[in-house]
Amino acid sequence: MKLVDILPLENIKIPINGKTKKAIITELVALIAESNPHINHKIVLQSIIGREKIMSTGIGKGIAIPHGKSRGISQIAAAFGIVPDGVDFEAVDGQPVYLFFMLVAPEGPAGPHLRCLSMISRLLNIESFRQSLINASSPEEALHIIDEGEREFLK
């Protein structure tokens, strides 16, 4: 499964308007809900916020990957957004976060969910990929960078 298969253009927001952890998570869940009208928005939001309370998904290097499994969704879905000036997301390195990938999966087997998290992490570990995304000025440009990144770096 490729990220571009679960990340439609309408689930990408540049810039994200939220400036707090809860506001950003709410905004990303809303993107997923808008493109997946069958999901239970409130249950998914509670799942992601609950997961975040356990441990911050701000993994460092300007990246956060809020994620979780929820009974409020029937298939894996993703959203992506950028906060150009960065925000405090309680990242492990204490630095501001600019890039936000959200991943929500249905409850059940963890395989697809973990494979997507792994793919996101591997791509974002590449400095040039991160910088290209931070500099993306539109959802179309960001989706193109993600697509090219998967093709080039994950052969």
Residues 6+ away with beta carbon under 8 Å from 66: 24, 25, 28, 48, 51, 52, 57, 100, 101, 102, 103
Q: Is the pLDDT of residue 2 over 90?
A: no
**Domain around 81:** 3-153
Catalytic residues: 67
Residue 140's CATH number: 3.40.930.10
- In percent, how much of the chain has pLDDT > 70? 95
Q: Supply the pLDDT for residue 24.
A: 97
Per-residue pLDDT of 34-46, as tens digits, reads: 988 888 889 899 9
Over residues 123-149, mean pLDDT: 95
pTM, whole model, 2 decimals? 0.92
The number of distinct structural domains making up the chain is 1
Phi, psi of 90 (to 5 degrees): 55, 45
Over residues 78-84, mean pLDDT: 96
Q: How far is CA 62 from the centre of its chain?
A: 13
